[in-house]
Structure 1
Amino acid sequence: MALKPAGGKYEGVWINKLKNGDISYYINYRDENGKPVKVQVGKKTIASDFSARDAYAKLIEVKYKLQHDQEPTIKGGRTSKIKLDDLWQEFFIYAKANKKSWTIDEQNYNKHIKPAFGNKAVKNLKSLEFEKFKSDLVDKGLKAQTVKHQLTLIRTIINYAIKHDILKNFTNPLSNGKVKMPDIDNKRLAYLTKDEAKEILAILQSTHTLTYHLTVLLLFTGARFSEITGASAQKNKAGEAIPLKWSDVNLNNKTIFFKKTKNGNECHIAMNDTLVETIQYLYDNKVNDNVITNSVGGIILRMPDYFMSAVESVIGGNKIKDSKNKITAHSLRHTHASWLAEAGLDILQIKEQLGHKNIEMTMRYAHLIPNIRHEATRELSL
């Protein structure tokens, strides 16, 4: 222990700077019998902003009680006043090293969360404050998904602090449904007709080869963009992205295998002639183990702008439509499933094709499946 006086106006306060950066505070006084006493009264840590001033206040309190024949009560520290900004700084270090979306987290925190809660003591925050925060964001015109992102980020930050003992003896006010998340209906309704798809592919084939083949892959496998390119937070045990590999493609029986991910089950997809042509072209021009890459052999992080330009050429005004009715890269997956439904594939087969984990995700396509129930009913006879 290397105690030394705090100095200045805090006479009687001693400090001990620890190797981990924490600072222990002690007070030095004489008890009712005149015996010297030196006792720890608090510690400055990442979870507590205890200071020399707080220790000195404790010393004054102890001396006052001794002068008035009262027994002094020495408590180690005071109620933690760690602020949400403090937790954010710790979480941000983790996010930059582990999350591809850390820049989005940073933007959301600085724009929406910091002004509302950044300087507030976390342990004083109540669920009702977050309900009001949610209402304020809605009143400002933010979409439900954006509001949910803010609440989810706050909950994640606090959970991170609890998990790593930065916050102790504290229950997250956003956990266990205490704050109702906004209802989000983001199910896309738009999908391409076969004629529209033909036109879009024809434009891409003549303007940008990479985008053409990526569109073919997405359209005729029904896979997620991340499952094809690896551009997502989905990683393997080594922390690497998981794009579609050539080891997942079987050119002999014309099938592609998609591994199980956190978002979906594994599945095998049969290749039609158009997809076989694309696979063969990509195989003949491969530069590494990934089925499709950008021009320098890296992962494709987002759908090239050529795609949206082609869509706009075929479907005028697409870019200004609401999110439900706008054709995007993800609409290719929706298109694939819709075509299968219109062809009469039953809902369980569509679920298997898309790798959905539960049937509820697939039921959005049920209305497209030809309904033979009424026809069968009319044919009933004795």
Structure 2
Amino acid sequence: MTVDIGRDPVTNKRKQKELSGFKTKREAEKAAAALITEIEEGTFVQEKNVTFKEFVNTWIETYSSTVKVSTLRVRKHESGRLMKYFEHKKMKDITKKMYQDALNDLQNPEGKKKGLSYNTISGVHSTGRMIFSKAVELDIIKNDPTQYAKLPRAQKTVEEIEQEEEVPKYLEKEQLAKFLNTAKRKGLGQDYVIFLILAYSGMRAGELCALRWSDLDEDEHTISITKTYYNPSNRTREYQLLTPKTKTSKRKIDMDPFVFEELKQHRKKQKEIMMKYRSTYHDKGFVIAKTDALNAGYPEFIKTIENRMRRLLKLAGLNEKLTPHSLRHTHTSLLAEAGVGLTEIMERLGHKDDDTTRHVYMHVTKTMKKEASQKFAELMRSL
């Protein structure tokens, strides 16, 4: 059965749609009537013969002009996970069941012991929704197959549940003091000032690598966080400075004058390096800059900071699984122990909302409340 669907706006020729595959004449007439109703109401969409791969490539090209390069990299990676299911399929042929089956397979892949985590699949689904939503908007497809998709959840073991409840690892104040003392005595190059800043500010490693001397106010003893370091290839000269992770990440941190005294000493040493390599020094004002002849002045790698921390933790006899990010958790715990409120802590860390920070805070304050109760009971027993 053939139905007129209007005229081509360019050639003015009549366009028709062929309806086929029906078991009875009544089914065909019913489908034709529904199609005619859509045409009359202006809701008809002539779906295009575009493959998933073709559309994603076009979408990525458009999307790239609206987001940071780091976000684009994530979207490319996540859309790539859907490619193995839909790469050569036409967008209009991808059904709700096919899309749900893809999500389910990511969580429980055939022939493999373990699939992707819930958070990773959630990210893939977010990208999938963006892709198909845009396809609907552009009249490539009529219906969005992601609309009613459910994220699969694996049945967790008792051990996994217990691990989830575990408080993120951080250093107690005595351990932090030991770590910083080890960095001062046995640290390589700039280790001490790196970890002193991270410990006393709670900033991210990427924010530290992007820090410039112009971000420091020596009179007010504050550090302004306005950017973050991005270098996925770990090629010294291919770094980028991006806007902060979130809107709340842009902030000003009050620092102890003691840290600024150490920074003054650090700057003197840095100026000596600048003089030594003055003809090749990458003079962009980075606080934590490389010191070797070939790359002097370029911002330090985040990976280098991670490796240096592991070395110092081992020398100090502390948990070697801790990372620079663990110092943010440490900062949270010590602020909570000092009586600083959760809202103030989140502002200092540049968080609008964060379950991990809240988890650490609640763990520390719960212990403090228990101690307060014990002290009261001891007081009453002494009467």
If the TM-score is normalised by the length of the shorter chain, which range does it land in?
0.5 to 0.7
Contact 1:87 1:158 in 2 (8 A): no
Q: Tell me the residue number matched to 1:272.
A: 256
Larger radius of gyration: 1
State whether structure 2 residue 319 is matched by structure 1 residue 306.
no
TM-score (norm 1): 0.61
Structure 1 residues 129 and 374 mapped into 2: Cα distance closer, same or farther (>3 Å)? farther
Counterparts of 1:261 and 1:103 in 2: how far apart (Å)? 14
1:115 matches 2:95: no
Name the CA shift for 1:107/1:268 in 2 (closer, same or farther; >3 Å).
closer
The one-character-per-residue Cα deviations of 1:122-175 (angstroms, maximum 9, x if unpaired) are 23334443332222222231222332232233233334555xx65456454435
Q: What CA RMSD, in Å, does the superposition of the two structures yield over aligned residues? A: 4.2
Residue 174 (structure 1) aligns with: 146
CA shift, 1:331, in A, is 0.9
- For the residue of structure 1 that corresponds to 2:332, the secondary structure is helix
Q: Indicate the residue corresponding to 1:190 in structure 2.
A: 169
Q: Distance in 2 between matches of 1:125 and 1:331?
A: 43
CA distance in 1, matches of 2:9, 2:298: 51
Shift of 1:280: 1.9
Structure with more helix by fraction = 2
Change (3 A) 1:244 1:146: same
Q: Is the 8 A contact 2:45 2:142 kept in 1?
A: no
CA distance in 2 between counterparts of 1:376 and 1:173 reads 60
Shift of 1:100: 3.0
Q: Quick one: which amino acid aligns to residue 257 of structure 1?
A: S
Distance 1:263 1:145, change over 3 A: farther
Is the alpha carbon distance of 1:303 and 1:125 closer, same or farther for their aligned partners in structure 2, counting shifts above 3 Å? same
Q: Aligned in 2, Cα 1:79/1:130: closer, same or farther, shift over 3 Å?
A: closer
- Pick from 256, 276, 289: which aligns with 2:223? 256
Letter matched to residue 334 of structure 1:
H
Amino acid at match of 1:152: S
Question: Which residue number corresponds to residue 69 of structure 2?
Answer: 99
Counterpart-to-counterpart distance in 1, 2:206 and 2:139: 35
| SS of alignment partner, residue 367 of structure 1 | helix
Work out the CA distance in 2 between the residues paired with 1:213 and 1:95: 40
Following superposition, the deviation at residue 221 of structure 1 comes to: 0.3
2:251 and 2:74 map into 1 onto residues whose CA distance is 32
Q: Once the 2 structures are TM-superposed, how far is the Cα of residue 89 of structure 1 from its aligned partner?
A: 1.7
Distance in 2 (alpha carbons) for counterparts of 1:170 and 1:315: 61
Tell me which stretches of 4 or more aligned residues in structure 1 moved more than 6 Å. Answer: 23-26, 183-188
The alignment partner of 1:269 has SS state of strand
**Match for 1:356: what amino acid?**
H
Establish whether residue 228 from structure 1 lines up as the match of residue 208 from structure 2: yes
The answer to whether the 8 A contact 2:99-2:149 is kept is no
Deviation at 1:302, TM superposition (A): 2.2
Q: Report which structure shows greater RCO (CA 8 Å, sep ≥6).
A: 2
Residue 90 in 1 paired to residue 63 in 2? no
Distance 2:64 2:260 in 1: 40
1:119 deviation in Å?
A: 1.8
- Could you tell me which amino acid in structure 1 is paired with residue 363 of structure 2? H
Structure 1: segments with no counterpart, 5+ residues: 1-22, 27-37, 43-53, 59-72, 230-242, 319-325
Task: Provide the aligned length of Structure 1 versus Structure 2.
Answer: 297
* Cα separation, 1, equivalents of 2:166 and 2:131: 28
- Tell me which moved more, 116-125 or 359-368: 359-368
- Counterpart-to-counterpart distance in 2, 1:207 and 1:331: 18
Label 1:249 to 1:82 Cα distance change in 2 as closer, same or farther (>3 A). same
Q: Distance in 2 between matches of 1:262 and 1:172?
A: 29
Q: Among the aligned pairs, what percent are the same residue?
A: 20
**How far off is 1:313 after superposition?**
4.3
Tell me the amino acid that sits aligned with residue 254 of structure 1. Answer: H
Q: Structure 2: which amino acid aligns with 1:180?
A: L
Contact 1:219 1:333 in 2 (8 A): yes
In the alignment, structure 2 segments of 5+ residues that lack a partner are 1-7, 20-34, 155-160, 227-243, 272-282
